[in-house]
Amino acid sequence: MFLRRVFLTVLVLLSLVGSARAQDYATASWPNMVRTMVRMNALDLSDQRLLDEYAIITECELYKAFFHDDFKWNQVRSALKDSIRTSIATFPMNYHYDLKMQLDRYDFATKFFRFTKKSLLNNINTFVLYSVEGTGCGMAEVQYIPRTYRAVVSSPLYLEGLPLTDKDARDLLARMDKDENISRIIYARFNLRTVYVEPLRKTAGRNPEGVDDKYVQSRVPEKSTVRLDVHLDSIGFYEDPQMTRLIYMYQP
């Protein structure tokens, strides 16, 4: 009965994670990052240490409630594995990455609204999607699951500005004047689709108790970092930080 109750609790919690719908561009978070790794077979939850840390990151309340009881926690582990098998198809694969940018002068000859030098997208292919300190789960400790998640696109991005007609550029400047946006600040949302995550591999440390063990990717030997290979689906450029007023949609 206890095992079934825990299983149902985990399923309910997963159903409340709105950003975990696979078709969306989710907000990057530590729970979402590790769920993506699980879906991409990059995190081996048959390893008890990784499973416990997965619970700390994604199911903190269950961890705090039952980890102190060895027998109940062993049942929670089983329920957690069952819930993952049931819900793994809903785990997020796609993410958005948001960036504040600035427009320079409008080029009448090329019909191009250029970015300032600081905002140029010149040979860009890496984005730090998420990085975290601490655990957000009381005194719980995470030693093995990485804390930094870097997205890498296959082809570098070169984008110097936005192609706009004279009328569209004039109207945009008029709205910026009305909003007192004299600095010409705009907001970009990169829509990224995960295509591959290399599995973490365990490297044994010298400590016989395994305290010095690490879980790393072969291409990213840093213990604290995971690389996600992604495809850039599109970039939306918006007038407002809420990203409701689209200026231009770039699709590579």
Region 131-146: what's the mean pLDDT?
Answer: 91
| pLDDT recorded at residue 88 | 95
* pLDDT surpassing 50 at residue 16: no
Is the confidence at residue 57, as pLDDT, over 90?
yes
Q: Any idea where the domains of the chain sit in the sequence?
A: 2-90, 94-250
Report the C-alpha gap between 237 and 247 in whole angstroms: 5
Closest CA to 36 of 193, 188, 252: 193
Alpha-carbon distance values, 88 to 28, 147, 216, 220 (Å): 17, 21, 22, 25
pLDDT > 90: percent of the chain: 78
- Is residue 113 within a helix (H) or strand (E), and if so which, with residue range? strand 112-115
Q: Name the average pLDDT for the chain.
A: 89
pLDDT at 21: 45
Between CA 175 and CA 180 the distance in angstroms is 8
pLDDT given at position 209: 57
